[in-house]
Amino acid sequence: MAETVRCVRGILCNFRSFLHTEMLLALLVLHVVSPFYNTAAVEILRPRGVSLLHKPFYDESKPFTCLDGSATIPFDQVNDDYCDCKDGTDEPGTAACPNMKYYCSNKGFTPKTIPSSRVNDGICDCCDGTDEYSGLILCEDKCREMGAVELEQRRKQAEVINKGFQMRQNLVADGKQVRQDREAKLNALKEEKQVEETKKQEAQAAKEAAEAPEKEAVDKHKKAWEEVKAARELEKQKEAGTAAFAELDLDGDGLIKLEEFQTHLEFDDDVDGEVTEEEAKTHLGDVTEVDLDRFLTESWPKIKDLYQGEKDKAKAPPAEEPTKGDTDEPPSEDPVPPPTDEEEEREEEEEEERFEEDDNDDEVEDEDDDDDLDDDLDDDYPDEEEEPDVDMTKDEAKPDEDEMPEYDEETKQLIAAADQARAEYTEANKKVNDIDTQIRQLEKQLGTDFGPESEYSSLDGQCFELETKEYKYKLCPFDKCTQSPKHGGSETTLGRWEKWAGPEENKYIAMKYTKGQNCWNGPDRSTEVRMTCGIENKLLSASEPNRCEYVFDFETPAMCTQEVPTNPEFTHEEL
């Protein structure tokens, strides 16, 4: 208890020895009776300000050696408010030595070390109040009260940790089960794939077997149709050529001569207004005259695109140059009556009808209107009530002439059989593809590290959101992290799952998501997810400590790896 008395070397030396016994007794009484005099029982057992750890160095029965070994002094100079040791260890309980630490044991709460300059400075620094003993101020011992609050907090925390631990046990069991199930499913799928692959090959062979005769029959049908079309075209050309021959053979002697040819200005190659003998000869096929046979085989194929027959001339005034489109069109075999006649006729009819309408009553007028409509439609469709006349049948049949005829029954059956085989193959192929997709997904899941005991497995496929003032953040464990502006704008990927990223000895406490959307003039966005123990899976916070580098805090029972005592106490040193 020597430290409780201020001792100034050379003045109070005797006083100190005098007090040693008397004061000891007196202060011991004070310790016991006064609730405000905070020096607890432990203080009696070691000099003030000394921690349990250092107590062995302070033995009252021996001289004190400074802890740095710099000096040895009589023990009653310890805590005499005079700094003897270079390291200040002779004054653990006073403010005499600079840079010394004062230790308050804070019984009932946690011990604390304060700079010894704060000893007796009039401010209560330690909850047990032992740093203030000069009488300047009385410090109440608040350690037990604070300790009770602290212990309650720790108890609640322990409850959470233990509940989380229980939940984790389930997560581990579930995770392992899921893994086993996936492994079993993967094996089953691999076997199923073999079966389905065989079926697919069979279906493919059946398809090919059905397609070969189908192709043969279809090709045959198409080829025949091409031949029909070619023959028709030949016939058409022969008719057009014969007509042209008749037109060109002006004197009807069965020969086209140069002078007859020269009457057609379309053969005026140099467009000088006259068809020379040379120009006529070139078009005729280097001869001066041709009969019909030679004309059809040699001349007509060359001039047919150029030639303007009488009908064409009637349609287009000769002054106009033939346009490219006109020359590409083969001469019409079945010419349309000159539009002028038709229009005239139509106009006359309409004129008459209009005239009649003026004289008729409303009812008749309506009927006439209907007739008009029918007349208009007659151009395109046969009147249902009328017997179709020959021309109309021809008109209706006309488009079919250019359409390939239906396949014969045998070919139709071959096509139907091939269609069926194709559908069966498509189905078999789809089955194999579906199995492949499932296998790939399972292999990916089985290849993902869901923790040493598969405890994080249940987080896969879930997403957790958090809203801040500006953004909605989303964490989809083992997939990605995103950020969406709350006031409009598209979602930004802040990183895709890469790996566990805690320190080597504890890697499952942090996740790393990388290769997110590129940051303008910066790196790709990335996110670190720090995991803590909690009784629910919850995204607690999201921040961006560096531009485009994000940190999420996430709590999960999967992180509650240890049980803790439900009745926490302060440790021995704390007591």
Q: Which residues bind ligand MAN (CB under 6 A)?
A: 483, 492, 519-520, 544, 547-548
Element (H, E) at 65: strand 64-65
Extract the tokens encoding 125.
């620094």
In the complex, minimum distance from the CB of residue 531 to ligand MAN, in angstroms, rounded to a whole number: 22
Nearer to ligand MAN, 210 or 548 (CB): 548
The residue whose two tokens read 């009553």 is: 361
Choice between 62 and 547, CB closer to ligand MAN: 547
DSSP SS3 for 291: strand
To ligand MAN, the closest distance from the beta carbon of 470 in angstroms equals 8
CB of 520 to ligand MAN, least distance (A): 5
Distance of CA 318 to the CA centre of its chain: 68
Rg (CA), the chain: 55
Neighbours of 551 (CB within 10 A): 15
Q: Which is nearer to ligand MAN, 315 or 496 (CB)?
A: 496
Percentages (nearest 5) of helix, strand, coil residues in the chain: 50, 15, 35
> How far apart are alpha carbons 249 and 254 in whole angstroms?
7
Q: Which is nearer to ligand MAN, 394 or 547 (CB)?
A: 547
Between CA 510 and CA 528 the distance in angstroms is 7
- Which residue lies nearer to ligand MAN by CB, 275 or 542? 542
Closest CB to ligand MAN among residues 133, 471: 471
Q: How far is the CB of 541 from ligand MAN (least distance, A)?
A: 15
Query: Measured from the CB of residue 547, what is the shortest distance to ligand MAN in angstroms?
Result: 5
**Closer by beta carbon to ligand MAN, 510 or else 548:** 548
Rounded Cα–Cα distance for residues 77 and 45 (Å):
17
The CB density around residue 202, as the number of other CB atoms within 10 Å, is: 13
| Residue linked to tokens 């009745």 | 567
CB of 539 to ligand MAN, least distance (A): 16
| Dihedral of alpha carbons 246, 252, 253, 255, sign | negative
Sequence-ordered list of residues with C-beta below 8 angstroms from that of 149, at least 6 positions apart, any chain: none
CB of 475 to ligand MAN, least distance (A): 15
Q: 376: which 2 tokens? A: 């208009």
**Minimum distance between the CB of residue 502 and ligand MAN, rounded to whole angstroms?**
24
Cβ proximity to ligand MAN, 157 vs 518, nearer residue: 518
- In this structure, is the dihedral angle defined by the CA atoms of residues 192, 194, 198 and 200, taken in order, positive or negative? positive
Considering the complex, what minimum distance in angstroms separates the CB of residue 492 from ligand MAN? Answer: 5
| Ordered DSSP codes for 323-368 | PHHHHHSPPPSSPPPPHHHHHHHHHHHHHHHHHHHHHS-HHHHHHH
Residue 395: CB atoms within 10 Å: 15
CA atoms within 13 A on the CB side of 281: 6
What distance in Å separates the CA atoms of residue 319 and residue 238, rounded to the nearest whole number? Answer: 28
Measured in degrees and rounded to the nearest 5, phi and psi for residue 90 equal -80, -10
Q: Which is nearer to ligand MAN, 259 or 544 (CB)?
A: 544
- The CB-of-516 to ligand MAN minimum distance in angstroms stands at 9
- 538: helix, coil or strand? strand
Residue 558: name the closest of 538, 543, 528 by CA: 538
H-helix or E-strand containing 303? helix 300-303
> Least Å distance between CB 548 and ligand MAN?
5
Looking at the Cβ atoms of 331 and 516, the one nearer to ligand MAN is: 516
- Least separation in angstroms between residue 484's CB and ligand MAN is 10
Q: How far, in Å, CA of 456 to CA of 442, rounded?
A: 16
- The pair phi, psi for residue 520, each rounded to 5°, is -55, 125
d(CA 548, CA 101): 44
Are the C-beta atoms of residues 466 and 529 closer than 8 Å to each other? no
Query: Which residue lies nearer to ligand MAN by CB, 98 or 489?
Result: 489
- Under 8 Å between Cβ of 33 and 20: no
Nearest residue to 240 (alpha-carbon basis) of 331, 305, 353, 328: 331
Give whichever of 229 and 547 is closer to ligand MAN, judged by the CB atom: 547
Backbone phi, then psi, for 492, in 5-degree steps?
Answer: -115, 130
CB of 537 to ligand MAN, least distance (A): 24
Rounded least distance, CB 499 to ligand MAN, Å:
23
Closer to ligand MAN at the Cβ: 88 or 516? Answer: 516
Nearer to ligand MAN, 395 or 544 (CB): 544
